[in-house]
Structures are given as C-alpha cells and as structure tokens.
Chain A
C-alpha cells in the first residue's frame, strides 16, 4: 500500500513538473532540462551504488562516450540532425553498454575500495583520450555541435527539447524501476547485502553485477547523447573526475537505492553548480558543505528525512505518553 502511495506521489510530482515548466522563463526551463539529464546519469549510477552496492567513481565515462559519439556524428557526418536523432539515441545507449561491457570485465572483479580505484582509473582513461586524441575529439577545445535536430518538431525550441528530455527521464525511471523490482533486481539487492550468501544460494553474482554494470553504462550513454544536444559543446570538462564524483553525491544526497532520490539529488547539485554559481562567488562553499553535511548528518539522504521525522515524532510522543 505504501508502495502505491509512493508511486502515485512520484507520478503527481512528475505531472506537476511537466505542466508547470513550460510557463517558466527560458533560463529555468534550460536549468530543469539540465537537471533531468543528470538525473538520468545519477539514476544509472544508483542501480550500481544503491541496488548492487558498487560505488563507481567513473560513471562520467559513459556520459562522455555518448556525448562524444553524438558530437562526432553530428559535426563530422551531419548525422543525427533529423529523424536519425533516434538512431543516435540508440547508438549512444549501445556504445555506452558496449564500453561498460569492456570496462566491466576489469571492474566487476574488484570490490570495495578497489572498485572505487579501478572505476576512477577507467574514467581517467576516457578523459585522457578525450583530452589528448585531438584528431578525434578536438582535444582541450572539444567539439561544437551544429544546431539541434529538427524532424517535424524542432529540438532547438527549449520547451520542445524539455519535453523530449522529460520523456527520456520517465523512460529511464520506468525501465530502471521495472529492473529493480524484477527478480534480477532482487538478486542485486541480495548481492549488496551479502554476496557470499547469494553465491552459496547458487546465484552467479559476477554475472549479475556485470549485467547491472552494462545497463548502467547504457543509460549513462543516453544521458551523454542528451547532454551533447543540450550543451551544444562536448569537451573533456564533461568527463573529468569531478563529474563522476558529483554523480555519486547526487545519489548519496538524494538517498541511495530509491532511484527518485538520485533524481532529487541531481536537481539540488545542478541548482548549486549552474544557478547559484552565477549568483554568488562563494558557491563552492555551499557545494563542499553539502558534501560534508550529507555524509555527516544524512545517511539516508534527503528522501529519508520524512521517515526520520516520523520516527523522531513517534519517539517523542512515546516518551510523553510514559511521563
């Protein structure tokens, strides 16, 4: 029953977002679109971190793979600027999945702090190629994209583009939700809680983790395609270590293992990085403060706050009843 209430809450919130956003200023629409794209990246990471217990320090790599693919296809070959946009979406997800399939061969064997280090190294490999492989990636300058695709609808229109991104956000949320509710997702949670026991029960835990890693890579690639179109510029800045770390913060801040928490976290971090940074020069104190305070005081993330308040009130009223 509680689950249905939560689902209805989420659907209602999404409906409100979809209805209200077009009436906002162009800047706010662009900001929300930005947040939704990073929400897709954060949710893909939540599948690893929140459900499988794999804290990846290199999720930006898949964003980079999708983004560079989109930029190279568009600027070099003029591909993906009409109906073929949908092909690029598919290719971006496929390439994200394929690179995760290669990287996963190395990463998924590791656990704990070694998993952190190896995903960091993999992320740096992608960054190194983006930064140095001038003939392919444009090096430090990155690649500028031509105007956004047009196929009956024009994605150059911020409202139209918002609805397209919103659609992909809902698609990602829905798909990942179905995955984590499936027996496969349950097995992932089992691995998170106690991997040796799952192995004893006959689960191939390596394969489960490997598949989860590939799925996360695919959705990371999707976020990359959308990000390239959103930003109009793809550069090594998109795949630096801090992007990966930000994605981790989004998940932990919102509440790991909830999907929608990751989306909320993405909203908060985007708000600080892209809105507050234009208002106040000391915004990094806020960002750093959010990191530190989340770790020290919000183990369950923002989404855990209502439950904590309920607990606290229940305890207090319980204490009053006794006196």
Chain B
C-alpha cells in the first residue's frame, strides 16, 4: 500500500463525505431546531433521484433536473411538516413512527411510479471522464460533488450568519423556548428548516444518482449514515455536519478498504460512544 492508495482512498472518502453533507446537513438542522428524529429523510434522498430521472426523461436536461428535483421534494417536506408533524406536538416516539409511516408510503409510491428496477442517472458529458494529477486519476464527477457540497455549505453558512432567518434558526437551535419568548416565530423557522432539509437531501439524491444509482431500499440504506453524521458532528451545527460528513465518509472508505469485516461497526460504534459521553456531538454546543 503506497502513498497512492492513501491518496485515492482519501479522495474517495472526501467525495463520499460531500454527498453525505448534502444528505445530512439539513437533517442536522431539523434535529437541532425541532428535536425530531425524521426517519423519512432517506426517502427525500431517494425521491430526489427519481424526480431527477423523470425530469431528464422529459426534458433531457440534467442541469434542470437538479433544481427541479430539489424544489419538488422541498414542497413535499413542507407539506409533511405543516399538515402532519406540526399538529403532533412534541413526542419523539410518535414523530418517529409517523415519519417512518411516511417513509413506507413514499417507498410504495416510488415503486408504483418508477418501478422496482435499479436505475442510474447519467451525468452530462462535461462531467464525465477524469483528470490526472500527479499520476492519480480523479473522476471529474467526484470533483463536482465536492465543489457542490462546498458551495452549498458556504451558502448555508453565509445564510445562517448574515440573514435574519439564519439568526432565528440559530436562536431556535440554542434554546427554542427562549427564542419563542423573545418573539421568534419558531413554527415558521421549523417549516423553513424542514423544507430546506428536504431540498438538500433531494439534491444529494439527484447528484448521488450517478454514484449510488437509484433503487428501492436506498432510502433506508442512507438514513442511518445520515444519523451517524448528525450525531458525530453535533446536531444543529453546519460546521459539525461538515466535519461529521468528512469523518463518516473517510471512515467508511478506509474501513471498507482496511478492515472490511468490521467496517460498519467502526462507523456506528463511535456514534454510540459520542452519544453516551457527549450527546451534543463532537462539535455541538452544550
């Protein structure tokens, strides 16, 4: 195992982490603001991929497919939050079961609309192929994944730090009750965050379609990974979600390459330890 092996694995891990960031950053904000364990978050990822496929089939444009898929699923998330989750009140168990119920409904709907065969999304020719840096082949698509995640992350970070809504979100994460006390409409913040989370997850699904493929069952495959990111990074913090994604992405890649038999264990065992020792996550605020 030379230096090449480490570089390639690190690159793969980082690009995988970039996809995880899209999937999990919204979940982290949702968890931070609303303390909801949203088990339908993986469905947003899967549905994002499917909607993108349909848009490509109709218009032929991959670039159009990404925003359309993300916005469509954002609308789905928004309706779910307004109509079902909001009236439910604060009860983690009931929220879990309600969102998992929706995950099954989405699964069946996807099966009825798009069928059960695995599909892949072909990226446009510009993003095909690879570039060679120092004798290492770097697929352009993976570079695209990393840059999208970085751009999204920067955009979100600016929005959180500079806008009024961002300040309201941060206040709600820190102390929802206090935020309500000083007149912040936390219900609107929740709605916004939920739609944003669905948007990001669907975008991740559309981009990840060229990487994982799009197939029934993908939703429950990526869901626990998203929770691992949220917990390791610390909920409600963008920087935490970024660090968490990077760590999970790298741990997953190196785990599979170096000690495949316990690779998933090495992913979830740290999650247990962090929850037991520092439930707010490595980078979360106390």
Co-assembled chains A and B: yes
Residues of A near any B CB (own CB < 8 A): 49, 55, 57, 105-107, 109-110, 112-114, 116-118, 120-122, 124-125, 127-129, 131-135, 240-242, 245, 248-249, 252, 282, 284-285, 287-292, 294-296
Which residue of chain B is the closest to A106 with respect to CB atoms? B276
Q: Which residue in B112, B224, B260, B263 is a CB contact (below 8 Å) of A241? A: B224
Bound-state Cα–Cα, A304 to B261, Å = 46
A245 to B96, CA, bound (A): 9
Is B39 part of the binding interface, using a Cβ–Cβ cutoff of 8 Å? yes
Contacts of A116 in B (CB 8 A): 37, 92-93, 96
B60 adjacent to chain A (CB < 8 Å) = no
| A248 contact from B97, B220, B271, Cβ within 8 A | B97
As a 0/1 sequence over residues 87 to 106 of chain B, the CB contacts with chain A under 8 angstroms (1 = contact) are: 01000111011101111110
Residue of B nearest to A55 (CB): B93
- 13 contacting pairs across A/B (C-beta < 8 A): A55-B92, A55-B96, A106-B275, A117-B227, A118-B276, A120-B224, A132-B264, A240-B220, A287-B104, A288-B101, A291-B98, A292-B105, A296-B98
Can you name the residue of chain A whose Cβ is closest to the Cβ of B88? A295
On chain B, the residues within 8 Å of A113 by CB distance are 35, 37, 92
Closest to A299 in B: B94
Cα(A292)–Cα(B260), bound, Å = 38
Known: A110-B275, A118-B272, A284-B107. A129 touches B262 (CB 8 A): yes
Question: Nearest Cβ distance between residue B159 and chain A, in whole angstroms?
Answer: 26
Q: Please tell me if the beta carbons of A291 and B231 are within 8 angstroms of each other in the complex.
A: no
Chain B residue at minimum C-beta to C-beta distance from A108: B276
- CB-CB under 8 A from A127, the residues of chain B are 264
Contact at B231–A292, with CB atoms within 8 Å? no
The reply to whether B93 and A248 form a contact with Cβ atoms under 8 Å apart is yes
Among candidates A107, A125, A287, residue contacting B265 with C-beta atoms closer than 8 Å? A125
Asked if B84 lies at the interface with its beta carbon under 8 angstroms from chain A, I say yes
Instruction: Determine which of B97, B104, B105, B264 lies in contact with A128 in the assembled complex, contact meaning CB atoms within 8 Å.
Output: B264
Main secondary structure on chain A at its contact with chain B? helix
B228 touches A132 (CB 8 A): no
- The size of the chain B interface, using a CB distance under 8 A, is 42
Cβ of A288 and Cβ of B104 under 8 Å apart? Answer: yes
Q: For B64, list chain A residues within 8 Å (CB).
A: none
Query: Do A245 and B100 have beta carbons less than 8 Å apart?
Result: yes
Q: Which of A49, A106, A245, A282 contacts B112 (CB 8 A)?
A: A282
Please name all residues of chain B whose beta carbon is closer than 8 Å to the beta carbon of A241 when the two chains form the complex.
Answer: 220, 223-224
Q: Which residues of B contact A121 (CB under 8 A)?
A: 227-228, 231, 268, 271-272, 275
Chain A residue at minimum C-beta to C-beta distance from B99: A291
A110 CA to B264 CA, complexed, in Å: 23
* 1/0 contact string of B136-180 vs chain A (CB within 8 Å): 000000000000000000000000000000000000000000000
Quick check: is B127 within 8 A (CB to CB) of the other chain? no
Kindly provide the distance from the CB of B166 to the nearest chain A CB, expressed in whole angstroms.
24
- CB < 8 Å neighbour of A133 from B93, B262, B271: B262
In the bound complex, what is the Cα–Cα distance between A129 and B227 (angstroms)? Answer: 18
Report yes or no: A292 in contact with B272, Cβ–Cβ below 8 A. no
B189 CB to closest chain A CB, in angstroms? 18
Within B71-124, which residues are at the interface with A (CB < 8 Å)?
A: 84, 88, 92-94, 96-98, 100-105, 107-108, 111-112
Kindly report which residue of chain B lies nearest to residue A49, judged by CB atoms: B93
**Nearest-Cβ distance from residue B37 to partner chain A, whole angstroms:** 5
A291 touches B35 (CB 8 A): no
**Which residues of A lie under 8 Å from residue B35 when comparing CB positions?**
113
> Once the chains are docked, how many angstroms separate the CA of A302 from the CA of B86?
24
Q: Does B279 make an interface contact (CB < 8 A)?
A: yes
- Complex CA–CA separation, A116 to B279 (angstroms): 12
Q: Could you tell me the distance in whole angstroms from the C-beta of A191 to the nearest C-beta in chain B?
A: 16
What is the minimal beta-carbon distance from B92 to any residue of chain A, in angstroms?
A: 4
